[in-house]
């Protein structure tokens, strides 16, 4: 429970988006994942991009992610070169998300701790669930809060130990 108002719950943060035509707009997003995924359409004209923003603002992260995956309803519109700018977009997303004072306070409370994105579906943004991933999301969050620290454990060995004896 974050103690947010119903409006804040609906749109956890607001992002300012600059368009190709020089205009800009402020848009609320329910979650960072939806904001990240919508950037996969920014290579299209402004009208199409704005349409996708309107569609993605209230999606859950899972809904947004599914729409852009192979077989998803929006897959055919995804920028084939998005991977080349994915880190830049993620930094933009995290800056917008943590401009929310409540969320910023929560992030700042993690100072001194190593942040790890534990996921089996992504070895780039997370650890790939086996400790061998790049953990880019965790690193970016630590950069944003102002203290990047190295993990104080051998990642792969710790993973193997948990796997061998999951009840400890």
pTM: 0.80
SS (H, E, C) 90-120: HHHHHHHHCCCHHHHHHHHCCCCCCCCCCCC
Q: Where are the domains of the chain?
A: 1-80
Low-confidence winner among 20-29, 42-51, 78-87, 140-149 (lowest mean pLDDT): 140-149
Bridge partners for 26 per DSSP: 16
Helices first, then strands: H and E counts in the chain: 8, 2
Q: pLDDT tens across 20-62, in order? A: 999 999 999 999 999 999 999 999 999 999 999 999 999 999 9
């Amino acid at each position: 429970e974050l103690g947010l108002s119903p409006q804040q719950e609906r749109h956890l943060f607001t992002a300012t988006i600059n368009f190709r035509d020089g205009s800009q707009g402020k848009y609320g997003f329910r979650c960072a994942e939806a904001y990240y995924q919508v950037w996969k359409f920014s290579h299209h004209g402004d009208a199409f991009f704005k349409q996708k923003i309107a569609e993605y603002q209230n999606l859950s992260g899972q809904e947004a992610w599914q729409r852009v995956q192979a077989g998803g309803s929006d897959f055919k519109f995804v920028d084939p070169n998005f991977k080349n700018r994915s880190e830049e977009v993620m930094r933009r997303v995290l800056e917008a998300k943590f401009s929310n004072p409540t969320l910023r306070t929560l992030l700042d409370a993690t100072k001194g701790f190593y942040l790890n994105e534990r996921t089996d579906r992504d070895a780039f943004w997370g650890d790939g669930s086996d400790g061998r991933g790049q953990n880019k999301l965790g690193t970016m969050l630590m950069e944003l809060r102002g203290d990047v620290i190295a993990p104080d454990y051998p990642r792969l060995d710790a993973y193997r130990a948990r796997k061998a004896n999951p009840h400890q």
